[in-house]
A and B are shown apart, each in its own frame.
Chain A
């Protein structure tokens, strides 16, 4: 057969997503507030690694329950602080989300994205002066090296692990070059929305 002429072939680009979620702009957009981290995360504040000799096994808690419990405990802590006349920014700086990372890869990513959204919503009502009070620090304890993968995708500040093998993800996969890399994914955004909605309902109860 004669060779085809491909010189006029061009790609077709479209700028529409299949589905847009209401929260997308907030999760990925002005993220420094709502995702609760610096936009320059991992550049100015490198991902921290801690070695822990404590072994753990992940309790079977649904992500929404874990978040709701965290929000309730945080609120309790904040109210106590306010009652003793401590400033909101000072109180908040003492709080962080200590989480154990489970095996369901995308559930864990969505969990961390959801907890950041809900944290900022919770903190907003106390009118903090400091922008970074909207920021939630997440410390992720992992059971096996591979769990660090979902912890980093979710945007944790610190990985706590029994050994250093998980450094592979930081050093070789280039996944820290852009923030919230799964943002926009219909699958991940839907899961984030579901977990956030359920967790807030549970928390309000």
Chain B
């Protein structure tokens, strides 16, 4: 359709467009009316145009994104039944949460050789158990998600001690060099209130602690966990910018990797009431993760809610083939991605210059920076600049069903910690607590 328009309309430029906008604004200030400044230090323009196009080249995964369900292992038998049912419904990945070692033969009865990937989330670190599990699942794609630094950031303590944790990790990696033993859990940064640029920078610096210990060989064997918020295009750009920067950092190690990225919906913006709105939030978040190029997305539903809540997400996302390429060359996304990459790299370099992520975590610098942004967001929420519908705007206008996936109110820590832990915090907690008191 080459001459389709050229014959009838003159081509345009961003200057011409801006001029037209100024005419339409009729005296109103362009900068004040149409530019949006974000907590990341990015300015969103009302339009983007080919003549100001810029991008960084993102290394993208080849395979389509897998869709993951979480199963908590209370007994091996029930978890096994839940898993089989989920696979029947078309789930392509399962995350098992365990608080103690389990009987893997029982759990995985009839679950293997089904082309389903397995993820684990243990809140214990036991070398012999993990080695045994690795043996039983030798033919499967498995992500063990061991992240001792993440554990420290989340809880304020090592599993046992830095020395013991490090030595277990070292042994596990030595014994299973081809497996995904390690993960970098960046979900806590989002859930505690870091902005998108901080999350990218912290995930990188966090990963670089492992690269410093284990070297280039480990680069391809780390899974990254991100939590996705509802700022749609920023979330797409967040994952893309991370992919770009991870490879840039790896260039210093003379290696490359297409990062495995597991993304789950953020806790931060979920409201206690209005389960249907939370479903919309999660669906949009899952979509942005898929378009950002995540390799696995988790929808944070337990299997009993699967049919009613997860199905819409599956329906929306199943039609996407090669979804990781859709964002390519989109003016707006490429602009934000490039900005994120630039800004996150600066933060990453600063962290490295001051001794690295672990050292900044021990000093409390990371926690302080996250808290600053979290407080800014909270204030924006309190003044209705940042909206969660059903909470600070249109309260009580949506369904009042309580969302069982949202833990009511998080308590502070009640144990001694080595460092200040990063705690997840929902923006609407305060107002929900107040409403509860008013009802009582």
Residues of A bordering B, CB below 8 Å: 1, 3-7, 9-20, 22-26, 28-34, 38-40, 43-44, 103-106, 117, 120-121, 124, 144-146, 149, 164-169, 171-175, 177-188, 193, 196-197, 200
Q: Is B349 close to A, CB under 8 A?
A: yes
Residues of A within 8 A of B230 (CB): 172-173
Known contacts A144-B312, A172-B389, A174-B233; 10 further A-B pairs (Cβ under 8 A): A6-B348, A12-B56, A28-B48, A120-B9, A146-B280, A168-B284, A182-B330, A182-B332, A183-B332, A188-B330
Residues of B within 8 A of A193 (CB): 1
Contact A178 B329 (CB under 8 A): no
Given contacts A33-B9, A184-B330, contact A1 B212 (CB under 8 A): yes
Given contacts A40-B24, A186-B329, contact A171 B389 (CB under 8 A): yes
Stretch at the interface among B72-80, B81-89, B149-157, B244-252: B244-252
Contact A13 B316 (CB under 8 A): no
Residues of A within 8 A of B16 (CB): 29-30
Stretch at the interface among B170-178, B180-188, B320-328, B408-416: B320-328
Q: Is B400 close to A, CB under 8 A?
A: no
Contact B20 A9 (CB under 8 A): no
Q: How far is the CA of A168 from the CA of B249 in the complex (A)?
A: 37
Minimal Cβ-Cβ distance residue in A for B397: A164
- The listed residue (B2, B11, B345) touching A9 by CB distance below 8 A is B345
Tell me which of A11, A38, A124 has the highest count of chain B C-beta atoms within 10 A of its own C-beta: A11
- The listed residue (B14, B46, B341, B356) touching A178 by CB distance below 8 A is B46
Residues of B bordering A, CB below 8 Å: 1-2, 4-6, 8-14, 16-17, 20-21, 24-25, 33-34, 36, 44-50, 53-57, 208, 212-213, 215, 230-234, 244-245, 248-249, 251-253, 269, 276-277, 280-281, 283-284, 312, 315-316, 319-320, 325-334, 338, 341-342, 345, 348-349, 352-353, 356, 387-389, 393-394, 397-398
Residues of A within 8 A of B234 (CB): 174
CB distance from B153 to the nearest CB of A (A): 19
Residues of A within 8 A of B245 (CB): 11
Q: How far is the CA of A197 from the CA of B6 in the complex (A)?
A: 15
Chosen A-B contacts, 25 in total, with CB atoms closer than 8 Å, are A1-B213, A6-B249, A6-B349, A11-B342, A12-B56, A14-B56, A15-B55, A17-B55, A18-B329, A23-B1, A24-B50, A25-B12, A26-B12, A28-B50, A39-B20, A40-B34, A105-B316, A167-B394, A168-B389, A172-B389, A179-B46, A182-B330, A183-B331, A184-B330, A186-B329
Minimal Cβ-Cβ distance residue in B for A117: B5
Q: How far is the CA of A52 from the CA of B352 in the complex (A)?
A: 57
CB distance from A175 to the nearest CB of B (A): 5
Residues of B within 8 A of A38 (CB): 24
> Chain A contact residues: over half helix, strand or loop, or mixed?
loop
- The listed residue (A3, A23, A124, A181) touching B233 by CB distance below 8 A is A181
Given contacts A29-B17, A103-B315, contact A165 B398 (CB under 8 A): yes
Q: How far is the CA of A22 from the CA of B53 in the complex (A)?
A: 16
- The listed residue (A16, A44, A178) touching B47 by CB distance below 8 A is A178
- The listed residue (B57, B252, B328, B356) touching A185 by CB distance below 8 A is B328
Q: How far is the CA of A1 from the CA of B217 in the complex (A)?
A: 13
Given contacts A3-B352, A173-B284, contact A184 B53 (CB under 8 A): yes
Tell me which of A39, A106, A144, A174 has the highest count of chain B C-beta atoms within 10 A of its own C-beta: A39
Contact A185 B329 (CB under 8 A): yes
- The listed residue (B34, B253, B329) touching A43 by CB distance below 8 A is B34
Q: How far is the CA of A149 from the CA of B17 in the complex (A)?
A: 26
Given contacts A29-B49, A30-B9, A179-B47, contact A172 B329 (CB under 8 A): no
Given contacts A1-B212, A14-B57, contact A187 B325 (CB under 8 A): yes
